[in-house]
Structure 1
Amino acid sequence: MSIQFIGMIGHRLASEIIPATGPIFDKQYIADFAKAHENAGFDRILVGYASDQPDGFLVTAHAGAHTSRIKFLLAHRPGFVAPTLAARKFATLDHLLDGRLAVHIISGGSDAEQRRDGDFVAKDHRYARTEEFLQVIKKSWYASQGYDHKGEFYQAENAFSHIKPHQSHLPVYFGGSSDDAIRVAGKHADVFALWGEPLASAEETVKAVKAEAARYQRDIGFSISFRPIIGRTQEEAWAKAEAIRAKAKIQIEKSGYHFGAPKPQSVGAQRLQKAVELGDRLDDNLWTGIAALVGGGYNSTALVGTADQVSDTLLKYYELGIETFLIRGFDPLNDAIEYGKELIPLTRQKIAARQQATAQHQLPEAHAQW
């Protein structure tokens, strides 16, 4: 498996430890943030979705205009744009980016968040809607003639899109941890995205999703998200983690804003809460300090240590079949630059060395069979 690194860009400088600064749509920051990821060796960058934030299509288009190689992952929630139109929007954006787009489909884990945008569909129906949304999207992307669709949530008559994705296959990433999410992912997703969980629970999810995909004779990839905290020594890294916790606690208390938490309906958030209950430090260097502060509301678990120690941990997840790592820091722009100096190249080197050793080991066995 090849290894992929995904970063995440925002539309202005802000994090759990940095109060939001600058205009709400900071064009220069978006451009600089995207270029920093490209220069640091990331493969792709995620543009998120929130009901009160700037439009992700335009953030992605602007970032794409200031980069040339790095790919993009645009988060999208079904329910607000008709799938026939969404398909054309995605395809058009993929042409604008010269085939650098993937979409990350999120059904929504909070009724309150969904209702801000006018969506009152209950959570247990949102995955059914998502599945139908993806069915229609793919028809528009790949059908060579007009089609009719009559479903529970969408209807279309002689629908057709003249603009197809620039790529022969536009990748679909999928978020969600419930049984319904796994069912839909197994049928439609190219990559299933996990938040940063302990090794044992991550392995369980990988096995469950693979089994579901196998029902449809499909292969599926996996991504996992962490917030690496890197120090020159292990002690320095853990001191940074504690400083981040202290700053985040103060900022949350002052602002009352919990960065998307809590999400009581989200199974992913519930899984992170269970990890929090297991302890502050899990496995070798998985830290749940910020996840505890925000109620597990999003990808908030960290890997703490030197670049060498964190890369070793990433390799353990890689051995589970997870080949994509979404990493973002608490000092977003500076951490992205820092990851590119050692963590990303070091992890790639270790994976390459491991693959070479495996190939050399298999070669004598193949000769023996001859």
Structure 2
Amino acid sequence: MPAKLIGMIGVEPPSTSALHIIAGGNISPDYVTEFSRAHEDAGFDSVLVGYNTASAEGFNVAAYAAAHTKNLAFLIAHRPGVVAPTFAARAAATFDHFSGGRIALHIISGLSDAEMAAEGDFSTKELRYHRAAEYLDIMRKIWTSSERFDYDGEFYKLKGAYSAVKPLQNPHVPLFFGGSSTGALEMGAKHCDVYAVYGEPLKETSDVIADFRKRAAEFGRTPKFNISFRPVIADTEDEAWEKALKIQNDLIAQNLPKEARDRSAQRMLDAASRSDIHDERLWMGAARVSGARGNSSCLVGTPRQVAEAMLKYYRLGIESFLIRGFDPVNDTKEFGKELIPLLKEGALQVDREKSSEKVEA
């Protein structure tokens, strides 16, 4: 299968070089429509709809965008524990039918204790991951069980749970997750289909893939992998690097906190502390000046150079790429002109090479 491309939509235009696209309360239906259609026209397969404690509600945003697009799918960030797992399972299955199978969920268990407190949740981070594991266990049972069932867990107890509506997708709505803590990895290995990682150097990414494959294998599961980058492209390599430095200066002017907010971000900052540039194209300058917020590792160069850099990750086992720019709509359109076609054609060539190697073996 060719590489899958995931973008990200928000509900209002950003006022600065955008690290975050979720945005606040000034919802613009016209902007959501434009942004979603820009992704569809550019060749993206799906878009992430983000989540924070003050953001627009993701299922509603995705439902509106789905009504104004034809084929674009939606990866909706979802926080276990905010609503009951039985309700969430039915909501996702219902969306799956109305959208024609265009939904996946990205499971997030809370960025920080302070953020969770704003939603009335005072559980510790590790406790939230244990609860999320039960939550996902219940959701998967709701999606797949043909009979009513009871559930007696530490966090959830159910009697006669059942849903008449099942997902359109088989066996259920795909589940993504991110994180590198012990609790996150245990939850993901047992329950999730796709491990979403930040953009790190090739060596570190290879190690992460190998480690998580072993964890998932203990549960008889074969996971897929997604990686996030901010491509910075231009007609020439020099112009691309000039563009990258301008983005870095814009971020410096925003005076963002420099400390990492989670373990995955700290891994990015550790890479940035060794060098701003890794593997020729991976640029960590934006991550270094922003505390690695907003999936801020970048690939810099011409569209062909960046596509070739992404294909190195594809060869490692990365099957989908979450890419977004710092000028959201315009960068989305720019990615569609050359970068995405080059990446998808290159991925097909890699697949053909692998098939030939299997035949020869």
* TM value normalised by structure 2: 0.94
Alignment partner for residue 289 of structure 2, among 290, 293, 296? 293
Q: Does 1:346 align with 2:342?
A: yes
Other-structure match for 1:215: 218
Instruction: State the SS of the aligned residue for 1:228.
Output: strand
Distance verdict in 2 for CA 1:342–1:142, change over 3 Å: same
Instruction: State the SS of the aligned residue for 1:148.
Output: strand
Other-structure match for 2:49: 47
User: CA-to-partner distance for each residue in 1:136-183, whole Å, 9 max, x for gaps?
Assistant: 111111111211112111122111112211222211111111122122
Distance 1:23 1:192 in 2: 30
> Deviation of residue 232 (structure 1)?
0.7
- 1:15/1:330 contact within 8 Å kept: no
Other-structure match for 2:78: 76
Other-structure match for 1:12: 12
Other-structure match for 1:224: 227
Distance 2:358 2:160 in 1: 53
Distance 2:114 2:287 in 1: 20
RMSD over equivalenced CA pairs, Å: 1.9
Q: Where does the alignment leave 5 or more consecutive residues of structure 1 unmatched?
A: none
- 1:15/1:332 contact within 8 Å kept: no
User: CA-to-partner distance for each residue in 1:252-285, whole Å, 9 max, x for gaps?
Assistant: 23xxx66xx8554x21111112112112112211
Residues 1-370 of structure 1 correspond to what in structure 2 (within 5 A)?
Answer: 1-14=1-14, 16-17=16-17, 24-168=26-170, 169-250=172-253, 252-253=254-255, 262-264=259-261, 266-360=262-356, 362-363=358-359, 365=360
> Deviation of residue 185 (structure 1)?
1.3
- 1:3/1:324 contact within 8 Å kept: yes
> Deviation of residue 16 (structure 1)?
4.9
Distance 2:180 2:241 in 1: 29
> Deviation of residue 298 (structure 1)?
3.4
- 1:269/1:298 contact within 8 Å kept: no
> Deviation of residue 126 (structure 1)?
1.2
Distance 1:135 1:359 in 2: 36
Distance 1:95 1:308 in 2: 38
Distance verdict in 2 for CA 1:357–1:18, change over 3 Å: closer
Q: Where does the alignment leave 5 or more consecutive residues of structure 2 unmatched?
A: none
Aligned-residue identity in percent? 45
Instruction: State the SS of the aligned residue for 2:316.
Output: coil
User: CA-to-partner distance for each residue in 1:64-108, whole Å, 9 max, x for gaps?
Assistant: 000111111000111211111111111111122111100010112
Distance 2:301 2:78 in 1: 33
> Deviation of residue 11 (structure 1)?
1.0
- 1:109/1:263 contact within 8 Å kept: no
Distance verdict in 2 for CA 1:235–1:173, change over 3 Å: same
Whichever residue aligns with residue 350 of structure 1, its letter is G
Distance 2:242 2:42 in 1: 25
How many equivalent residue pairs? 358
Worse overlay, 287-296 or 218-227: 287-296
Worse overlay, 220-229 or 68-77: 68-77
> Deviation of residue 3 (structure 1)?
1.0
> Deviation of residue 356 (structure 1)?
2.6
Distance 1:360 1:154 in 2: 49
> Deviation of residue 4 (structure 1)?
0.6
Whichever residue aligns with residue 9 of structure 2, its letter is I
> Deviation of residue 354 (structure 1)?
2.8
Whichever residue aligns with residue 310 of structure 1, its letter is V
Distance 2:178 2:92 in 1: 18
Distance 2:164 2:229 in 1: 39
Distance 1:15 1:174 in 2: 29
Whichever residue aligns with residue 90 of structure 2, its letter is R
Distance 2:106 2:358 in 1: 36
> Deviation of residue 360 (structure 1)?
4.2
- 1:149/1:157 contact within 8 Å kept: yes
- 1:223/1:322 contact within 8 Å kept: yes
Distance 2:297 2:16 in 1: 13
